[in-house]
């Protein structure tokens, strides 16, 4: 087996999932993560179709099921908290739904034994030749790896170093999203409530057996200039964007200032003609972010990790063959998942009262019993747009 020593940048979902499979296939993965420790937080993420199979092959489906959210239907309300529409859980929660932070923890624990983790560090340069990739870090001494994988998200550092500026690959869909943990302010019982005004949606789900809630704020906006590492400034941006919004928004915004975790980003897609360049390759959001509106990002990360590691093993470590096959396997699946994310904003954050009314009518009709099966099948289509090969570990 060639190219055993592999560096992965990013320890969220894609990175640890890949590390798990690489070590099962006999490689030596190292993961470098910029945050000082595993990052908690995030909303619920779900699995459907091929990604369920990937979890099962990892032997983690049982554990994921034990941690699932058991979320019921999501209700859309008006400013007086009166229901105006609802969406069945089959549509929102896939086959199994889990908090992002819980999933990251499960993948980290499962991969830990066969992986070297370096927290609180980041790659500063990559220089590749026929033998390998010379890597320098912010803190650790320089090292040479056979291959480098960028699993470092929408604003990937590896992508910037090995492929070029993100403006070439990141396509802004016209919205910003924030997710944070708050007390269960609305006393929700395994349920979610969403409120929309033109261009702004506020969503709250109860979480962790109703002991807390996860808040999601989404607003339409042209691209904004802000420091991605300055949470205080991002909170101020949100407070401005949601000032004067009705329903429970002011109470929810108050809770934002004291949240233990805070996520803020543009809603964007990553589109690239190729996911590899020599000995570097991209995985998950770094390569093919579909946007949180697609509901497919986490599934794609887990499937992509399975395929990339499997193809490397099948090619006995030959990266040229493996990277080409990884792209071949994943391309059409990624395209279908991205398609699901492209128009989500029109439904999630309609920009006029007429569009909100239309959206609510549509969602009301979706709860009718004969439609339910159809909705579930529609949601499954993209999730099943790949058939996973067997890669004996």
Binding site for ligand FAD (CB under 6 A): 9-15, 32-35, 39, 41-43, 45, 100, 122, 151-154, 157, 179, 263, 284-286, 292, 297-298, 301
In whole angstroms, the minimum distance from the beta carbon of 299 to ligand FAD comes to 8
In whole angstroms, the minimum distance from the beta carbon of 11 to ligand FAD comes to 5
In whole angstroms, the minimum distance from the beta carbon of 285 to ligand FAD comes to 4
Supply the DSSP symbol for 392: -
User: CA 300 to CA 333: how far, in whole Å?
Assistant: 8
Q: Rank residues 84 and 349 by Cβ distance to ligand FAD and give the closer one.
A: 349
In whole angstroms, the minimum distance from the beta carbon of 123 to ligand FAD comes to 6
- 10 Å CB burial of residue 244 (0-12, 13-18, 19+) is exposed
In whole angstroms, the minimum distance from the beta carbon of 260 to ligand FAD comes to 12
- 10 Å CB burial of residue 133 (0-12, 13-18, 19+) is buried
User: CA 19 to CA 27: how far, in whole Å?
Assistant: 9
In whole angstroms, the minimum distance from the beta carbon of 148 to ligand FAD comes to 11
Structure tokens of 351? Answer: 């920009």
Q: Rank residues 17 and 84 by Cβ distance to ligand FAD and give the closer one.
A: 17
User: CA 168 to CA 40: how far, in whole Å?
Assistant: 30
CA atoms within 13 A on the CB side of 239: 12
Classify 84 as helix, strand or coil: strand
Q: Rank residues 287 and 315 by Cβ distance to ligand FAD and give the closer one.
A: 287
Residue 392 dihedral angles phi and psi, to the nearest 5°: -60, 125
With vertex at residue 159, the alpha carbon angle to CA 269 and CA 114, rounded to the nearest 5 degrees, is 105
- CB-CB contact of 149 with 280 (8 Å): yes
Residue number with the shortest CB distance to ligand FAD?
Answer: 284
Q: Rank residues 2 and 331 by Cβ distance to ligand FAD and give the closer one.
A: 331
In whole angstroms, the minimum distance from the beta carbon of 32 to ligand FAD comes to 5
Q: Rank residues 39 and 208 by Cβ distance to ligand FAD and give the closer one.
A: 39
In whole angstroms, the minimum distance from the beta carbon of 324 to ligand FAD comes to 21
Instruction: Tell me how crowded residue 246 is: count the other CB atoms within 10 A of its CB.
Output: 14
Q: Rank residues 146 and 177 by Cβ distance to ligand FAD and give the closer one.
A: 177
Q: Rank residues 138 and 352 by Cβ distance to ligand FAD and give the closer one.
A: 138
- CB-CB contact of 380 with 49 (8 Å): yes
Long-range CB contacts for residues 369-378, cutoff 8 Å, separation at least 24:
372/88, 372/90, 375/88, 375/90, 375/91, 376/90, 376/91
Q: Rank residues 197 and 285 by Cβ distance to ligand FAD and give the closer one.
A: 285
């Amino acid at each position: 087996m060639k190219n055993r020593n592999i560096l992965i940048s990013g320890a969220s979902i894609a990175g640890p999932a890949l590390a798990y499979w690489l070590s099962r296939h006999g490689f030596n993965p190292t993961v470098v993560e910029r945050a000082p420790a595993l990052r908690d937080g995030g909303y619920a993420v779900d699995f459907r179709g091929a990604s369920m199979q990937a979890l099962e092959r990892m032997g983690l489906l049982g554990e994921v099921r034990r941690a699932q959210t058991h979320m019921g239907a999501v209700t859309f309300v008006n400013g007086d908290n009166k229901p105006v529409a609802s969406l069945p859980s089959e549509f929102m929660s896939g086959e199994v739904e889990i908090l992002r932070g819980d999933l990251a923890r499960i993948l980290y624990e499962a991969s830990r034994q066969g992986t070297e983790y370096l927290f609180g560090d980041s790659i500063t340069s990559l220089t590749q030749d026929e033998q390998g990739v010379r890597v320098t870090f912010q803190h650790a001494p320089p090292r040479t790896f056979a291959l480098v994988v960028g699993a470092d998200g929408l604003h990937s550092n590896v992508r910037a170093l090995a492929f070029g500026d993100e403006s070439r690959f990141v396509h802004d869909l016209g919205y910003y999203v924030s997710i944070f943990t708050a007390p269960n302010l609305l006393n929700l019982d395994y349920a979610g409530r969403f409120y929309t005004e033109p261009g702004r949606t506020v969503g709250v789900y109860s979480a962790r057996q109703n002991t807390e809630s996860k808040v999601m704020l989404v607003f339409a906006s042209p691209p904004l200039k802000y420091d991605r590492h300055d949470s205080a400034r991002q909170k101020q941006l949100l407070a401005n964007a949601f000032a004067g919004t009705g329903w429970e928004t002011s109470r929810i915004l108050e809770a934002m200032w004291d949240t233990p975790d805070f996520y803020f980003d543009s809603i964007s897609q990553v589109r690239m003609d190729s996911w590899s360049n020599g000995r570097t390759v991209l995985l998950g959001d770094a390569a093919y972010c579909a946007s949180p509106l697609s509901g497919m990002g986490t599934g794609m990360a887990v499937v992509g990790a399975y395929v990339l590691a499997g193809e490397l093993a099948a090619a006995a470590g030959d990266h040229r063959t493996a990277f080409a096959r990884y792209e071949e396997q994943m391309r059409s699946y990624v395209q279908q998942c991205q398609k699901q994310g492209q128009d989500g904003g029109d439904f999630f954050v309609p920009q006029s009262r007429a569009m909100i009314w239309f959206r609510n009518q549509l969602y009301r009709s979706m709860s009718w019993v004969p439609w339910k099966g159809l909705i579930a099948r529609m949601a499954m289509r993209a999730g099943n747009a790949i058939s996973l090969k067997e890669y004996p570990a």
